[in-house]
Amino acid sequence: MDVITFTLNGKEVVYDGSAADRLLEVLRDTYDMKSVKCGCKEGECGACAVLLDGLLVNSCCVAVGAVDGSKVMTVEGFRETPQFAVLSAAFADLSAVQCGFCIPGMVLAAQAVLSQNPHPTEDEVREGLSGNLCRCTGYNAIINAVLNASKEGEGLW
Amino acid sequence: MKAISQSIRKKDHDPKIEGRSRYLADYNFTDSGKEILCGKLLRSRYAKAKVLSVKLPELPEGYLYVDRGDIPGDNNVNIVLDDTPVFARETVEYIGEPIGMLVGADEKEVERLLGEIEVEYEELEPVTDLRKADHAFFNYEFGHGDVEKAFAEADKVYEEEFRTGYQEQAYLEVQGMMAEPEEDGKMYVHGSLQCPYYVHGALARALGTGPDGIHIFQDVTGGGFGGKEDYPSILGCQVAVAAHKAQAPVRCVFDRREDMEFTPKRHPSICKYKMAVKDGRVTAVDCDVIFDAGAYSTLSAVVLQRGIIAAPGVYDIPNVHVTGRALKTNTVPCGAYRGFGAPQTFFAVETMMNHIAQDMGEDTIRFKEKHLVKQGDKTSTNGKYHFPVPLPAMLDEVDGLAQLRKKHEEYSKPQTGRCRRGMGLSVYFHGAGFTGSGERDIIKATAKLHKYADGTVEVLASNADIGQGVRTTFPKIVAHELNLPVEKVYYNHPDTARVPDSGPTVASRSLMTVGELLRRAAIKLRDIWVEGEEQEVEEHYKEPDFMIPFYLDRFEGDAYPTYAWGVNAVEVEVDTYTGLAKILGAYASFDVGTPVDYNIVMGQMDGGFLQGLGYASIEKMDYDSKGRIRNNSFTDYLIPTALDVPNLKVTLHVEEYPDGPYGAKGAGELPLVGAAPAYVEAIEQAIGRKLNHAPFNAEDVIAALEEK
Amino acid sequence: MVNGYAPKTLQEALEIRAHEKVIPYAGGTDLMVQNPKNAIYLFLNKIDELKEIKDDGEYIRIGAGVTFTQAIASDLVPQLMKEAVSRIAAPAIRNAGTFGGNLGNSSDKADSVLVEFAMDGCVRLVSVNGERVIPVEEFFIKRRENNLRDDELIAEILLPKAKCSMPYYYKKVGGRNALAISRIAFAGTYLVKDGVIEDISAAVIGGAAKFQRFKDIEKMLIGKTVGELKANIDEYVKLYSEKYIFTRGRVSAEYRRTVCMNLTKDFLNTII
């Protein structure tokens, strides 16, 4: 590989560091995508989750070489979308954001759920968010917010 | 619902959900544009050893090492007893104890160099078995009535031992602190923390600067739950010593394994209970509470005090005798975790009451009901329950949510078949605010409001928003009293250079105590308000008049001004083939007084309740005979995921507290405290065994079923 | 300083594999936890021919680069495999994790590999010098040890169609409902015709650094009537009990034994 080229939040970027670098660190350190949080670096918490070609992945467990030619979306990009606006409003209505550290990953996980299944059941939402640990909320408010967003955002997903 | 309870959009919602909030690890440079050096701790490999020598590799330009020899002030971290060193003294007392810190520009290089440091130890015999521990950091005793007489006259005397394990706070943002030497010679220390003035006090001592030589700022903090009460003082001193020597900013952010293994967690406990029963009523309780403090005393004194004061539970027992000890083992020091000593003793007393009822052939719910304390009754410390005790009504509420009584009776009958069900109950309180006279004698909180000429008002206080919402609820209170839109009032993260000491963010006190100061300050400001002028008002804590003074030396008086109350019910289904228990429902009524924002309070209730359910079931952590914790990652220390619980069913019961703002009481810790006894009773019903420890996981279920 | 390889075709990948010292990178979910120092990765995730799921009449062939998420959505992948991989970790891991990676990293807790053991799965290994198809149980030696040669890559997992359509039994026992490593897992298939057991196979995850399957017991059961199994079920359970080896890991060996025996008996009861 000569360089690694990928689309980050809609813009093409070229990375010339090591292909073995963790996507998590590349996103945070090289591209200043600080919404991507490091919670464990072992794929066990979901705080660093991003959308890779529309699918949720833990960026700590992705080498940047693997995203050559792919599209990566973080909250820095997702926050510009109408889907984000609906999710953010739904989270705000239930005060579902507490310490906030899991939230960027959680919101992207919610987007992943809704983009595949615009009318999920509670169980389907729980399944979809099951890789994103939250220690603050007990999940109630988050799950309910996603269910509300699916109603409020009718037609968006 | 009161107007103040109507939920508003949280002030930190947008920056957090948009990923714009800056947590400690998110700084690229300091705010003055300087490069940040990375600090990593050199940690002890042994649970107890003399450190004979530390041999450093050749350090490249710009890399340096600090240890106790570099501390400008005093090598003691100000917590309670000040026995915790900044860096290890001649001996190390637990695996992972910081010996020194290596600092440099490149994180990977610092790691590499750290691996090349050679430490020569002389191993000593550690204590890694709580039952063999003999050094008590703290040893308390209190009681009332005549326990001996009650035992002598009893129809039957019951004795049982209960054990609980560690619990790790598992906040999603790991611990991290940063220190920046400033132009004027002051040291600026900031990071992920709960108590800016605790860190301030510790730094003043360790750096020997006095209070004016330092200031502390709380960055956006990704959860604390008690875990960032004392620890940031220790880590703050360490980075500050390094920054002082380097004369450059130094930041240390832990990795998850380091955080899980080497930072404080809930004290494991062994509680021995003895109760006398006469004519169908419990007439005496004698209990001996042991907490595993770890290697240094840190916060164990105050954790133990809260634990033993709660030891008789919510029951009216005329004769009480309690002893409590925090014992030293050569393991990581335990500290604060939501509930602060009470989850351990409530697990014991609730389970003890169940077992006595079962032995007497009585329904456990009715047995508890007939012993409940009432308004005007004596507390365990000869204080008084000054306000109504709403537990009977709350029990009815939970019954309505959970069909508690019906299912509890149904499941109490012997069950066969692969999957069996159980319903468990817990009834408990959480003393609101600091234990004893701490608020009056030690903290002496001050809060201020600063009004700017444009009519905006800034809250000046030192309480950290760690997710629980004080950046929203404080302004809400002030705006309410000033009749301002809430947008006109704001509360920034505290910097001790700007804010008075309104006390730490602990003990469920922020809203109840500091919120009330702010409410009074707002009234004061309203009375002197002059349009277009800059004005400032200040309020100081005053102990409520009704309180019976508390004397810690004999545990006498009102340990708390009031209490938050909880009733929990948990329904489980146990697969007897695998031991796996499915939570079918978790129900609660919580009385934290008036919610100053319904959603925020419900978020606290749900979140705390689930942490409690984790503590009850899957959150298992232990150390081996060498004193090493193996469950040091999210792979090996399991906390509940969204798939491990159904929607929690929580209702709020409001018993207003006249001295809290609009009737609010302490809230944050309560919901964790009662989950373990309710869960374990549910498992007991399902599998028909008498159980006495928590967590109780699938492996424990199978082991219990195998026991004939 | 880009130092990896991202071939677009399998042939290209095999050439690199033959001539360079590279670490095959499939989904990364396990590999990146360690991310060994100075690793040079051979990225396999852009090779379309490794992402196919096919039915060749005899086998369901799952490409090494097929992710668990992809398998769950497939009409061809047998239900037993779908059930097992749908319980792996959580969506973000299933979106990246692959069949090739799950087998290649030689974990004795790999949920898809358990099913391959139980279903007589084979693996097709390819190199510039040719290919070989061997049973998964021959490929997997023990934890962290397998038969992959230095110039080989895993191309496909082959599941015999005969087994794919059989009734099955699956139970995973982890520490919680998501993000959980199997402490014990049990996968079995069976076929009963006219009251006679025509086929049976079962494999377990239970520590001991391997997957355990006992074909000699299976052989004894084949040809027996359901009535005979019912009459002697405790003896068969005992046979298994004598063979299983359990070791202490995240849970005790005793726990594993008890649960595994319960599941073994439950499986045999299912057949009845």
Residues 6+ apart with CB under 8 A from A81: none
Q: Got the DSSP string for A96-124?
A: --SS-SSHHHHHHHHHHHHHH-SS--HHH
Q: How confident is the model at residue B82 (pLDDT cuts 50, 70, 90)?
A: confident
Do β-strands B269-278 and B156-164 pair in parallel, antiparallel, or remain unpaired? antiparallel
* Sequence-ordered list of residues with C-beta below 8 angstroms from that of B262, at least 6 positions apart, any chain: B43, B96, B254, B332
Domain boundaries, chain A: 4-74, 81-152
DSSP string, B375-416: TT-B-TTS-B--S---HHHHHHHHHHHH-HHHHHHHHTS---
Give which of C33, C246, C255 to mutate to test B binding, by max B Cβ within 10 Å.
Answer: C255
pLDDT in tens, B183-231: 999 999 999 999 999 999 999 999 999 899 999 999 999 999 999 999 9
The pLDDT of residue C1 is 62
Q: Which of B7, B8, B18, B256 to mutate to test the interface with A (most CBs of A within 10 A)?
A: B18
Separation of alpha carbons C197 and C236, rounded Å: 14
User: Percent of chain A having pLDDT more than 70?
Assistant: 100
In the block, which residue shows the tokens 């139970």?
C171
As for how many domains chain B has, the answer is 3
The answer on B570 and B514 residing in a single domain is no
What does the block give as tokens for A109?
A: 């996980």
Option in B17, B605, B643 nearest A91 (CB): B17
pLDDT digits (tens, 9 = 90+) for B504-513: 999 999 999 9
- Whether B689 and B651 share a structural domain: yes
Q: How many CA atoms lie within 13 A of A155 on its CB side?
A: 0
Q: Quote the tokens at residue B109.
A: 């290089």
For residue B448, what are the contacts with CB-CB under 8 A and spacing of at least 6?
B459, B460, B461, B499, B500, B521, B536, B537, B538, B539
**pLDDT digits over C153-182, tens only?**
999 999 999 999 999 999 999 999 999 999
CATH superfamily of C166-271: CO dehydrogenase flavoprotein, C-terminal domain (3.30.390.50)
Contacts C176 to B, Cβ<8 Å: 618, 638, 640-641, 643-644
- Asked if residue B695 has a cis previous peptide bond (ω within 30° of 0), the answer is yes
B304 and B416 inside one domain: yes
**Strands in B212-314 per DSSP E:** 214-218, 250-253, 269-278, 281-294
* B610 touches A at CB < 8 Å: yes
CA B111, CA B104: separation in Å to the nearest integer? 10
Q: State how far Cα B135 lies from the chain centre.
A: 24
Residue B163 placed within a domain:
no
Distances from the Cα of B708 to the Cαs of B29, B688, C93, in angstroms? 63, 11, 42
Asked if C2 and A1 come within 8 Å (Cβ–Cβ), the reply is yes
Collapsing DSSP to helix, strand or coil, B537 comes out as: strand
Q: For C51-97, give the secondary structure using H, E and C.
A: HCEEECCCEEEEECCCEHHHHHHCCCCCHHHHHHHHCCCCHHHHHHC
Q: Confirm or reject contact between C34 and chain A (CB < 8 A).
A: no
**In chain C, domain spans:** 48-163, 166-271
How many percent of chain C have pLDDT more than 90? 96
Local structure of residue C5 (DSSP, 8 states): B
Cβ–Cβ < 8 Å for A9, A75: no
CB contact under 8 A, C28 and A41: no
CA dihedral sign, ordered B306, B311, B316, B320: negative
B221 shares its domain with B306? no
B417: exposed, middle or buried (Cβ count in 10 Å: 0-12, 13-18, 19+): exposed
Best residue of C1, C2, C98, C250 to probe chain A, by most A CBs closer than 10 Å: C2
Instruction: Judge: C179–B697 Cβ closer than 8 Å, yes or no.
Output: no
CB of C25 less than 8 A from some CB of A: yes
| Domain enclosing residue B58, as ranges | 24-125+175-253
**Distance in angstroms (rounded) separating the CA atoms of residues C205 and C211:** 5
What's the confidence (pLDDT) of residue C207? 83
Does C90 contact A112 at a Cβ distance shorter than 8 Å? no
With CB atoms and an 8 Å threshold, state whether C4 touches A1: yes
Closest by CA position to B19, among listed A95, A145, A21, A80: A80
Taking only residues 183 to 202 of chain B, the set having a beta carbon closer than 8 angstroms to any beta carbon of chain A reads none
Token representation of residue B242 = 């390094």
**Min Cα separation B18/chain A (Å):** 6
Report the alpha-carbon distance of residue A95 to residue C148 in Å, rounded: 52
Burial classification of residue B535, based on how many CB atoms lie within 10 Å of its CB (0-12 exposed, 13-18 middle, 19 or more buried)? middle
Q: Do A97 and B609 touch (CB under 8 A)?
A: no
- Over residues C185-212, the pLDDT tens digits come to 999 999 999 999 999 999 999 988 999 9
Say if CB B391 and CB B380 are below 8 A apart.
Answer: no
Task: Give the model confidence (pLDDT) of C86-97 as tens digits.
Answer: 999 999 999 999
What gap in Å lies between CA B556 and CA B142, rounded to an integer? Answer: 8
For the record, the structure tokens of B18 come out as 């948009």
Average pLDDT, chain A: 97
Q: Which tens digits make up the pLDDT trace of C66-79?
A: 999 999 999 999 99
In angstroms, the separation between the Cα of residue C131 and the nearest Cα of chain B is 37
**B638 in the same domain as B586:** yes
B96/B232 same-domain check: yes
Contact at CB, A143 and B647, closer than 8 angstroms? yes
Tell me whether strands B37-43 and B98-104 are parallel, antiparallel or unpaired: antiparallel
Contact residues of B toward C, CB < 8 A: 576-580, 618, 634-636, 638, 640-644, 697-699, 702-703, 706
Mean pLDDT of C29-41: 94
Q: What's domain C48-163's architecture?
A: 2-Layer Sandwich (3.30)
Chain C residues touching A37 at Cβ < 8 A: none
* Mean pLDDT, rounded, for C229-258: 95
Helix axis angle, B404-411 to B391-402, nearest 10°: 70
Of all residues in chain B, the one with the smallest CA distance to A97 is: B13
- What's the rounded Cα separation, in Å, for the pair A10 and A77? 7
Instruction: Name the 3-class secondary structure at B468.
Output: coil
Do B529 and B645 lie in one domain? The reply is no
Question: Does residue B695 belong to any structural domain of this protein?
Answer: yes
Cα–Cα distance for residue pair B128/A61, rounded to 1 Å = 36
Nearest CA in chain A to B16: A100
Domain match, B88 and B231 both: yes
What's the pLDDT at A1?
A: 84
For the domain covering A81-152, report its CATH number: 1.10.150.120
Q: What is the pLDDT of residues B399-420, one digit of tens each?
A: 999 999 999 999 999 999 999 9
pLDDT above 70 (res A65): yes
What are φ and ψ of residue A150, in 5° steps?
-65, -30
Query: Residue B284: inside a domain, yes or no?
Result: yes
CATH number, domain containing residue B616: 3.30.365.10
The answer to whether B610 contacts A139, with C-beta atoms less than 8 Å apart, is yes
B609 and B667 both lie in a single domain:
yes
List all residues 6 or more positions away from C20 whose beta carbon is below 8 Å from its beta carbon: C5, C40, C42
Question: What six digits make up the tokens of C212?
Answer: 């355990």
Domain match, B456 and B521 both: yes
* Contact residues on chain A for B596, CB-CB shorter than 8 A: none
Structure tokens, B186: 């002051």
On the question of pLDDT at C151 being above 80, the answer is: yes
Average pLDDT over residues B522-528: 98
Average pLDDT (B57-85) is 96
CATH class for the domain made up of A4-74: alpha beta
Write out pLDDT tens, residues B267-291: 999 999 999 999 999 999 999 999 9
pLDDT digits (tens, 9 = 90+) for B312-349: 999 999 999 999 999 999 999 999 999 999 999 999 99
